[in-house]
Structure 1
Amino acid sequence: MSRTRSALRSLLPDPGPTRALTLSTLVRTTGRGLFFTGSALYFTSPSVGLSGPQVGLGLTIAALVGLFAGVPSGRLADVIGPRGVTIVFLLVDAVALCGYTLVRDFTVFVLVACAYSFFESGSNASNQALIAGSVEPERRVRTRAYLRSVTNLGWSLGAVLCGVALAYGTREAYLALIFGAAACYAVGALLNLRVPSVPPAPKVSSGPVWIVLRDRPYIVLTLLNAVLCMCYTLLTLALPIWIRDQTSAPPAVYAILTLINTVAVLLFQVVASRGSATVAGAARAQRNSGVLLLACCVLFAFSAGQGLTPWIAIAFLVAGTMVHVGGELLQAAGSWGLSFELAPQHAQGQYQGMYGTGYQLAQVVTPVMSTLLLSGWGWPGWIVFGAAFLLAGLAVPVAARWAERTRPAEPVPAAA
């Protein structure tokens, strides 16, 4: 019995700031899952009247706007404190979600989507700075791993709740879905009040303000991480289309693959993050991630082999998904260790904003690349993606050592 209780306690987040951050994340990501699971159907419903291409174009424009929010929002968090910035940005995002109820044409849709994307990106940067400032350095990666597991749980809960609205399919049901998601954002924002307030970073006596823009090794690591982050959109966007158009497996098998991914991240992200709290350990995790992502791409390519029975194709897809999960877990763990450990303490906000921009860049670029490579080339497209993952992973340790060698000493705070 004592062993069982000990095992259960090990699955809980650490008490204090980590537990408060976890609760806030769970509520907020439930709202994200609630809205985004049914958003495409809502936007293309008769009550809104947008076409599929319009939705895709609008979301791409919004994602590009979001690219420019991370660094200035992180800088704002450094100057006035990350907790307040995070709360305000999340509350504004709740309002932006409500703005989707007013959409009747493409122009309004783009404006609302851009507002949502900008403040979502900004809140992510300030929230990372809040983690850096409220959690002990040796626990940051572990905390971030908990939050990612909880994010998957929240998305799953939101998706289940969204199914109720989709079963009705009326405008009223969609509006209830949107307002429910906005309420989750607002409650999640306010739950951050349970996190201890982090004071603004002290002003420094000299040196540039936007130091991350001059930190070439860190920018290189951001871009390498962006390449590895393409694995997420490949799984969520490219793989279901690949299964339908290029393999003999039934499209419904994608639901099983999604379940495998979700459960694995929920159960194993914390375990996979062990050893990634140092720069060397984090770089090693991302290197290994590149190797695993190459292997998963090869397995996905094999799923379209000539004359394969549906069961063999399914076997390749399941194997590829399981290997993908390993690469995804290590990519995430390595990204947290590198982004936290290589950022100066007085500029965690702008550094986290820069590093998060790599993930957003991947979300913008991957749909286009997957269309060109996978839809246009077929299975060789997977090999190209796999080679990119491998090269990026192998380059991370080199770039990380460069970054360690060039870390400047922490600046002296300016006199009051």
Structure 2
Amino acid sequence: MPLTPSPSTGLIPALPAEDAAPSNPQRGSWRMRLAGPFTDPVLRILSAYALVSTLGRGVFFTLTVLYFTLIVGLSTAEVAIVLTVASAVGVLTGLLGGQLADRISSRRLLFAIVVLEGVALIAYAQATSFGLVLLIACIVTGADRAANSTRAAIIARAFTGGARVDARAILRTITNVGIALGSALASVPLLIGTGDAFRLAIVLAGTATLASTLVVWRLPRRVNAPARATTRTGPSPAPGGRPPFRNPRYLALTALSGLFGIQFGLAEIGLPLWVVNFTEAPTVMVSVLLIVNTTLVIAFQIPLSRGTHDVRRAGNAVGLAGLLMLVACLAYAGSGAVPVVAAVALLVVAMLLHTFAEVLSSAGTWGLSFELAEPDRAGAYQGVFSMGFSLGAMVAPLVITATVLTHGPVGWALLAALFAGSAAGIMVIARRDTDTMAPDLSASLKKT
């Protein structure tokens, strides 16, 4: 009997199905169902890496701006420059990380990148000037973006079909858990309030990042790009398939996904400023809304990601996300023109819609980024896709400021149109792909 890929991992099992122990999913305990995906060593290792590293990142992200301003002594303008320049560097390194993942060992590449990121995080504790903070921030952000695209290339090669999106969903859930725990730990130095407390927390954050490399090194060699044949007359040839920058459909998907990704900046930057400056809602609602967002992402990212390896279904998921974001923006806008109780209610409703849009759009774009890529150039394609999100993150503060924070309800309407339009464009790309695949499938069936 031929071997078939495992439905949980997308990989070939070690034994034929008839030799495996019989199982009945209806009789399995919830612990068995929960542990099922982690039977694959790659996902197990990446999950451990994500949890440990994001604990450190959660601590650092919570303290970053306050450390720069209160401890190092940077001005608000200098902090803005640091974050913008570092984001720009991250755009390039995300692309570079994907390209390198197709040419050298992805396992060793990820290990080296994470070591660099951890050392740079620890170096923040010794930063005393704008120039030094800027340099370290570029290294940290650049390493983080390169690690993301390298990890995506590893997932693209280690799994197949729906297991790829499932892996991304599981890792994103673990990332949210790790960042939430790290943010809670960051409350300790915030309560103490001294420079030494901040520096110690940053050193511990960097140490956690370095500790995650202990599991990264255990990744199997099968996550590396396939070895390319070498010749006596020249270097080994480039990977097969069309390069991503010669694939207009994939570039359009990347650009539109980056535009929709501005919704992450909306939650992190625009919403807190909107609540504090433009609504009657209490300031504590900022924390409440972010807790709602994190909790729902943890609860729903995995179940709502299932099946989005199907191109049409992935496109429909993004289309629904665009509709949800449109309504969410209108609810956000309405919260600025009503009394406190109504404002709180509208903000909660808007965040619920916003969060489900975030979950669905992430699942849909992940599926499309994998399925529309050339398999032999997984790293290059994931690097380009990562670059799109990095560009979206870089322009998000400018877009949000130019719309919501400047023009109020009119700005919210413009932002709603941006989200709905980009989601509709992604849905069109997905449907055109399935429409072109159908004739090709019919022709191949006739030949057989």
Q: Paired residue for 2:406, among 370, 376, 379?
A: 376
SS of the residue aligned with 1:65?
A: helix
Q: Indicate the residue corresponding to 1:276 in structure 2.
A: 308
Q: Paired residue for 1:112, among 119, 136, 150?
A: 136
Which range is displaced more, 317-326 or 163-172?
Answer: 163-172
1:195 Cα offset (Å): 2.6
CA distances 1:150-172 after superposition (whole Å, capped 9, x unpaired): 11100011001111111112122
Q: Indicate the residue corresponding to 2:47 in structure 1.
A: 22
C-alpha contact 1:217 1:400 (8 A) present in aligned 2:
no
C-alpha contact 1:217 1:403 (8 A) present in aligned 2:
no
Residue identity matched to 1:291: L
**Residue 33 (structure 2) pairs with residue 10 (structure 1):** yes
Across the aligned residues of Structure 1 and Structure 2, the Cα RMSD in angstroms comes to 2.1
1:393 Cα offset (Å): 0.9
1:142-181 aligned at under 5 Å gives the runs 142-181=166-205
1:379-394 aligned at under 5 Å gives the runs 379-394=409-424
Using the size of structure 2 for normalisation, the TM-score is 0.86
C-alpha contact 1:298 1:382 (8 A) present in aligned 2:
yes
Q: Distance in 2 between matches of 1:255 and 1:199?
A: 41
Q: Paired residue for 1:241, among 268, 273, 276?
A: 273
CA distances 1:350-395 after superposition (whole Å, capped 9, x unpaired): 1111101111111111111111111211111111111111111111
Using the size of structure 1 for normalisation, the TM-score is 0.92
Q: Indicate the residue corresponding to 1:267 in structure 2.
A: 299
1:271 Cα offset (Å): 0.9
Residue identity matched to 2:189: A
**Residue 111 (structure 2) pairs with residue 95 (structure 1):** no
CA distances 1:298-331 after superposition (whole Å, capped 9, x unpaired): 11011112xx221111000000000111100001
Q: Distance in 2 between matches of 1:73 and 1:6?
A: 40
Residue identity matched to 2:419: F
SS of the residue aligned with 1:80?
A: coil
The number of aligned residues is: 403
Q: Indicate the residue corresponding to 2:336 in structure 1.
A: 304
Q: Distance in 2 between matches of 1:266 and 1:8?
A: 17
C-alpha contact 2:186 2:201 (8 A) present in aligned 1:
yes
Q: Indicate the residue corresponding to 2:210 in structure 1.
A: 186
Q: Indicate the residue corresponding to 2:345 in structure 1.
A: 315
Runs of 4+ in structure 1 over 4 Å off = 2-5, 204-210, 401-406
C-alpha contact 2:154 2:224 (8 A) present in aligned 1:
no
Q: Indicate the residue corresponding to 2:106 in structure 1.
A: 82
Residue identity matched to 1:320: A
C-alpha contact 1:79 1:201 (8 A) present in aligned 2:
no
Q: Paired residue for 1:349, among 372, 379, 390?
A: 379
CA distances 1:165-211 after superposition (whole Å, capped 9, x unpaired): 11112122111111111111112122123332223334385788981
Q: Indicate the residue corresponding to 1:412 in structure 2.
A: none
Unpaired segments ≥5 residues, structure 1? 410-416
CA distances 1:101-131 after superposition (whole Å, capped 9, x unpaired): 2221111111111111111111111111111
Residue identity matched to 1:226: G
Shift of the 207–49 alpha-carbon distance from structure 1 to 2, 3 Å rule, reads closer
Q: Distance in 1 between matches of 2:262 and 2:195?
A: 34
Q: Distance in 2 between matches of 1:321 and 1:341?
A: 30
1:3-82 aligned at under 5 Å gives the runs 6-12=29-35, 13-16=37-40, 17-45=42-70, 47-82=71-106
Residue identity matched to 1:329: V
> Radius of gyration: which is bigger?
2
Q: Paired residue for 1:337, among 353, 362, 367?
A: 367
Unpaired segments ≥5 residues, structure 2? 1-24, 230-236, 441-448
Shift of the 3–275 alpha-carbon distance from structure 1 to 2, 3 Å rule, reads closer
Q: Percent identity?
A: 33
